[in-house]
Amino acid sequence: MPKNSSVLAFVIAFLLWAFFVLPTTGLAGHLQPFKGVPVWHKNPTTPAKVELGKKLFFDRRLSGDGTMSCVTCHMPEMGFSDGQSISLSYPTTKNWRNSPTLINVVFSKYLFHDGRVESLEDQALFPMMSSFEMNQNLDFLEEEIRSVPEYVTEFRKVFGTDDITRERIAMAIAAFERTLISRNAPIDLYLAGEKDALSSSARKGLEIFTGKGKCSECHFGVNLIDDKFHALNVPENPDFQADPRVAATRRFVAKLNHFDGYRTLAEDPGRYLITKDDKDWRAFKTPTLRDISKTAPYMHNGIFATLEEVIEFFDLGGGEANTAIKPLGLKADEKDALKAFLVEALAGEDIVLQYPQVP
């Protein structure tokens, strides 16, 4: 390749990186406005695929007894979470973790609180198969969807084949989920130069967020995440710790992940179950803060009902004996300002979603 062509190729690659990758990763302490959406080349988004995925997202056929769909735990009016301390579950069972928002999930490198998968295509199938979530047999699901003429027509249109597989079901759902984006939040307008986009209290909160509060050490970039896992020693939720149904789920998941002590496990090991690395014991993925005011309760187990409780937890230096964070010493007015920033600045425009007609 000629020298000039090499230089041009480098410049193009850098610009693509700066436009798509840098806004996702960012630099510690550096907040960035929303600019664009990364393209998932293995599963290109098309309007027809998104519409198919939306129908499947709302379709109760995806659960074993036909009572649950993806929207059961990811409700549009609740910031695509479900407002529960721990996520809803299959009848007679109990979940053990909070339902994370799907807003801006397109920017996430890892999915689930423990980061066990790195693509929405893989993520979509986990809840369907889970014994305590949707409890569906995927072989049976394929036949259920194949038996619906409207779906056969749509899958042929989107994928060019009548062969409806679990992988293509997941691809369609993932394409829809990648459209759930928080846009035009006041923080985006402010960072783009509109200094009046934030109230004085929110601007003070931003100073706390990037300064004394140290929030931006883990919450930065366009999606306000670092794509890492931290052991903050969030307390176990006493409402569920002794529940035998939660205990059964906790031990079941630990057994599936080859944890020898699953029979007596009394707490959530977090990412440790995935990595078996001691530093990941009770470590969980940094969540996005986009639209955080819509997605209470908070933490992987919903232990905190309000943002005030979350701020207090961090101000005190996290959970007992954790080494990840230290006390902040925030004053009452600083806590109020920080909350104002979280609530006012990070709320994007409502995602307008026309509910589909499920065949």
Question: CA-CA distance, 48 to 176, in Å (whole number)?
Answer: 10
Packing angle, helices 47-57 and 166-177, rounded to 10: 100
Mean pLDDT within 159-178? 97
Mean pLDDT within 149-156? 98
Domain containing 120: what range? 47-177
In a domain? residue 233: no
Cβ-based neighbour number of residue 76 at 10 Å? 16
pLDDT digits (tens, 9 = 90+) for 301-333: 999 999 999 999 999 999 999 999 999 999 999
Exposure b/e, 29-42, CB count within 10 A at least 16 = b: eebbebeebeebee
In a domain? residue 125: yes
pTM of the full structure: 0.90
4 has pLDDT over 80: no
6 has pLDDT over 90: no
pLDDT over 90 percentage in the chain:
86
In a domain? residue 96: yes
Question: CA-CA distance, 216 to 31, in Å (whole number)?
Answer: 8
Q: What is the pLDDT of residue 135?
A: 97
pLDDT digits (tens, 9 = 90+) for 253-270: 999 999 999 999 999 999
Question: CA-CA distance, 261 to 240, in Å (whole number)?
Answer: 20
7 has pLDDT over 70: no
In a domain? residue 4: no
Using DSSP's 3-state secondary structure scheme, residue 283 falls into strand
Question: What is the average pLDDT score of the chain?
Answer: 92
Q: What is the pLDDT of residue 242?
A: 81
Cis omega (within 30 of 0) for bond into 297:
yes
In a domain? residue 268: no
In a domain? residue 84: yes
152: alpha, beta or left, given left = phi > 0 and alpha = psi -120 to 50? Answer: alpha
Q: pLDDT band for 34, please (50, 70, 90 cuts).
A: confident
In a domain? residue 201: no
Q: What is the pLDDT of residue 29?
A: 57
Mean pLDDT within 111-115? 98
Considering its fold, how many domains does the chain have in total?
1
In a domain? residue 99: yes
Q: Give the domain CATH number at 97.
A: 1.10.760.10
Whats the size of the chain, residue-wise? Answer: 359
